[in-house]
Structure 1
């Protein structure tokens, strides 16, 4: 029984070791998925922001584009470093386990060899019979018979353990070679990415040097741009609050309520919208997030903060805008000196699409997921084609990145 317990414990240790290895493998898969995401994002940035067609862009737009690219490349370097460090830890753990397994195998083989020798010396049937017949009584003979069986079983278990550990050792050696190869590849790739980052940082510094010569002019332009954004956002906020008040008045509730009064159908639609959190399609087929949600420093003047109530997605000229979910067009804003804004309601959620042109829906229209609702407007002076996209729950803004798939 003692030998059987030992065998079970060793097997459990092997199983636990495999579970740890699988856990590390899962972490590698997670990091690799992130690395692939950043690599794809860089390809999109190069295609959408740095193609030959973008030569007519303004200096400010070029700085903003380069800043977006530099940030993604830094993220790529970080995640690649994390992968390489994890591989180093896995390699070290594998090397330690290989050393331990070799020592265990050596002891097992020596023990097994001793058993084989003893078995050979006592292998004849006559020896076993004599061993049993020389017993003083039946009880002793029974115990000796049990000992012979246990010894044979233990010998078999030792043989099986050697096979198991030998196979594990072979697998670990194979994994170790693969891990070292993967690490060498990552280190080489990261070296190349860092070189490219140095080139881009130098280019960024040259552009910023040109801007610093007329910083007041550019800072004034950035401030004016932010004021224009704030003006549009205030109008969106006003319309949402008005819609909430109207819905509550219609339902006979207090008009001071901060949330929509929902019909059963609207409540079901809102639940449906919520269940698709993180899975909503992009509002454009191809795009790169150039400005993220929340407060952040301006890439032109770091002392100035940008407060973004949504995201800004750079895309190609003539790109169609799509509804990200089923809903009803609640408003189409025509603000003086600004491009149209489309608002779509999904229960007590609202998605907002800014900087539109060629609107193909009207207020009150029912829309479905991925239905085209218009086109992104292209700025003639900057050469940018940029969609502003926001998500609201009642009157509160949400981070679109947590709603849209892989944003």
Structure 2
């Protein structure tokens, strides 16, 4: 029975260690699958379509995105393989101990069977009982034989149990080593791909260097145009807030007139360029805030190619680009969807005929820019997930891109903090 007492704690300890390692590795496995999916999206959305005209800056940006995701994947694979190596080492040590204990159990059992056989050859069970000096001694001898038989049976079962567990552990180790081999092969393939991407990156950098002044001028013009568009949208939002507030104040004044009371010209709590909210609008804004980090994406599938906030340009040191929201590339023909219940505040149209739908959610506004077709109009009530328009596909770059911006009154927010993590 002593060997069984040693075996059980080893089994419990092994299972607890295996559980800790497994949980950590499971998280890395999920991350690896997510990055593999992202690489497929990058290849599909940024590289599958043949462009009519080549733009080295756009191509370089796409290559940089691919290299960035591959680098993250290689890092994740390395971390997963490292944990797997530790797990295999621990399991091999446990397997060695278990094999040793199994050998001891089998040796003890064989010794016991041999002694039992010798005992049986010297005198039979009947003679052993009949040679008792009294009834009490005979009873004790009978109980001893029962216990001995039970012990032999238990030890035999323990050997079977131990053998099965060792076999399962052997199978587990075999599977783990195969997983590790697969990870190492995958890492090797990703490194080969990243080397090929870097060669393309170097060629593009050489091309850009030769025509640096031309590309720099084009980029600066593009940045100026973006600022002009942003200023126009900001102005329109301020106008819409002022218009909405005038209507709210007029309604309040009319309601007060019916009650023969004097309304204040403007609520004290409301600042400039902030919505005056009705009780219903306040409740909607509160619900919107409670869903921070859980709001759906404005497209069913896509990758972010420019994030929110100021960031250095990858090719031209000293030039800063500003992401007013998220630039998301998706598949051709995809539609923009509302991230929350609300009301269409306005539909803006740029000089090239592309639309920007502004949806109000209390004192929050979600903006869906670069739409080719729209399915809504100003004043429409909108539900979460409702399709609001088809996203424009550039005929030159072949990219289908939406610019998604989020405001609280006139202040821009980082949409990544509000929508679901992918």
The alignment's TM-score, normalised by the length of structure 1, stands at 0.81
Mapped partners of 2:388, 2:278: distance in 1: 25
2:405 is matched with 390
Written as runs of structure 1 = structure 2, the 5 A alignment for 1:239-254 is 239=237, 243=241, 246=245, 252=267, 254=269
Where do 1:71-82 residues align within 5 Å?
A: 71-82=68-79
Asked whether the equivalents of residues 279 and 405 of structure 1 are also in contact (C-alpha less than 8 Å), the reply is no
Contact 1:378-1:385 within 8 A present in 2 as well: yes
Of the candidates 67, 70, 80, which is equivalent to residue 67 of structure 2?
A: 70
Partner in structure 2 of residue 183 of structure 1: 180
Deviation digits for residues 104-139 of structure 1, max 9, x if unmatched?
Answer: 1111212222333344445643466369x469x97x
In 2, are the aligned partners of 1:315 and 1:386 still within 8 Å (CA)? yes
**Structure 1 residue 231: Cα displacement:** 4.7
Question: 8 Å contact 1:391–1:400 — kept in the other structure?
Answer: no
Q: Per the alignment, do residues 142 and 13 of structure 1 end up closer, same or farther by CA in structure 2, a change over 3 Å counting?
A: farther
The corresponding residue for 1:49 is 46
Whole-angstrom CA distance in 1 between matches of 2:239 and 2:112: 86
**Conserved? CA contact 1:329–1:365, under 8 Å:** yes
The structure-2 alpha-carbon separation of the partners of 1:302 and 1:119, relative to structure 1 and needing over 3 Å to count, comes to farther
Measured after TM superposition, the shift of residue 103 of structure 1 is 0.8
What is the aligned counterpart of 1:287 among 302, 319, 344? 302
Distance (whole Å) between structure 2 residues aligned to residue 274 and residue 142 of structure 1: 77
Report how far residue 277 of structure 1 moved. Answer: 3.8
Question: In structure 1, what is the equivalent of residue 204 of structure 2?
Answer: 207
Residue in 1 aligned with 2:83? 86
Asked whether the equivalents of residues 57 and 384 of structure 1 are also in contact (C-alpha less than 8 Å), the reply is no
Give RMSD over aligned pairs: 3.9
Residue 283 (structure 2) aligned to one of 267, 276, 286: 267
Q: Equivalents in 2 of 1:339, 1:172: separation in Å?
A: 62
**Deviation for aligned residue 1:170:** 0.6
- Find the counterpart in structure 2 of residue 32 from structure 1: 29
Check 1:129–1:198 CA distance in 2 against 1; reply closer, same or farther (3 A cut).
Answer: same
Which of the numbers 270, 279, 283 marks the counterpart of 1:255?
270
State whether residues 7 and 101 of structure 2, in contact with CA within 8 Å, keep that contact through their aligned partners in structure 1: no
Given the superposition, is the C-alpha separation of residues 336 and 168 from structure 1 closer, same or farther in structure 2, using an over 3 Å criterion? same
Query: Structure 1 residues 99 and 314, CA, compared in 2 at 3 Å: closer, same or farther?
Result: same
Where in structure 2 are the equivalents of 1:149-228 lying within 5 Å?
151-228=148-225
Residue 390 of structure 2: SS of its match in structure 1?
strand
1:149 Cα offset (Å)? 5.8
CA distance in 2, matches of 1:21, 1:279: 36
Match among 85, 91, 96 for residue 93 of structure 2: 96
- DSSP 3-state at the match of 1:99: helix
Which of 55, 61, 83 is equivalent to 1:58?
A: 55
* TM-score where L is the length of structure 2: 0.78
Paired position in structure 2 for 1:308: 323
Q: Which position in structure 2 is the counterpart of 1:299?
A: 314
Q: Greater CA deviation, 158-167 or 316-325? A: 316-325
Stretch moving more, 245-254 or 296-305: 245-254
Instruction: Kindly indicate whether the alpha-carbon contact (under 8 Å) linking 1:313 and 1:389 is maintained by their aligned counterparts in 2.
Output: yes
Flag structure 1 segments of 5+ consecutive residues without an equivalent: none
Matched, 1:323 2:320: no
Is the CA contact (8 Å cut-off) linking 1:354 and 1:389 kept in structure 2? yes
Question: Structure 2: how far apart are the matches of 1:292 and 1:190?
Answer: 28
Contact 1:58-1:381 within 8 A present in 2 as well: no
The yes-or-no answer on 1:403 pairing with 2:419 is yes
CA contact (8 A) 2:368 2:402 kept: yes
> Cα 1:107–1:57, aligned 2, differ >3 Å: closer, same or farther?
same
TM superposition shift of 1:229: 3.6
Out of 363, 378, 381, the position equivalent to 2:378 is 363
Change (3 A) 1:402 1:166: farther
Q: Distance in 2 between matches of 1:223 and 1:162?
A: 78
174 and 55 in structure 1: CA distance in 2 versus 1, 3 angstrom threshold: farther
SS of the residue corresponding to residue 325 of structure 1 reads coil
- 1:347, distance to aligned residue in structure 2 (A): 4.4
User: How far 1:172 moved relative to its partner?
Assistant: 1.4
Listed one character per residue, the Cα deviations across residues 337-374 of structure 1 (whole Å, up to 9, x for unaligned) are 89532222334543221223333322221123332212
Between structure 1 and structure 2, the one with the greater Rg is 2
